[in-house]
Amino acid sequence: MSAFTVSASALTGVRAPSGAAPSRRSAATPLRLGAIRQSPRGGTVQPRALPAGVLEKLAKMPQDDMASWESCKMLVVDLGLDDEAAEKCLVKAFGWGAQNYWRQSKVEEVPDVDQVEARIAYLVEIGIPEDQIGEKVLSKVSEILGCDTELLAANVAHIEKNYFMKRNTKSFTNYIARVPQVLGNNIDCVGDCAGDCKRCWARC
């Protein structure tokens, strides 16, 4: 069973009741964004390569939010991205940077561990190998990690109906690897451009 198999409640983004077993990443030690950190091998690790404005905002997070951020970052690291790439992935996925993808629909959102785990689990469920999610999906379109599972599911259904490819098949997996942005689409201009090209089916 995949490490990202989760319950149905997690797929809806609903938090577990008080007293439930915590996520395997919920106890991650929060780190100060952009700070000089000690390397496990000695010496120091330089500040993370994020824009100064983003670093400043993240550094002001409450401790609980920072812990959630670090836990989600480690989930992304587990998918094969390095520490810096995982940090940049979260910045894009949750609206802490430019808004050319989210267009103000997601602004400086603190990622929720349960929801991130559920989205990763869904990608595995539809046939994307766990060890390819980082390289084939998130490194190309990080924002997919910020899309609700309902949108991901709707787009998979659209692909199956209109592109005649079924989930958990080689052709489907190859298609997602080639154009992962389809998982986050939310518009189909059909020749009448709405100016939201990053999320339009006309590009796919």
Taken as a whole, the chain contains a residue count of 204
Class for the domain spanning 50-203: mainly alpha
Q: pLDDT tens across 86-117, in order?
A: 999 999 999 999 999 999 999 999 999 999 99
Task: Report domain extents, the chain.
Answer: 50-203
Identify whether the C-beta of residue 167 lies closer than 8 Å to the C-beta of residue 160.
yes
pLDDT tens digit sequence for 115-135:
999 999 999 999 999 999 999
The pair of three-digit structure tokens given for residue 179, joined into one six-digit string: 């154009």
CA 181: distance to chain centroid? 12
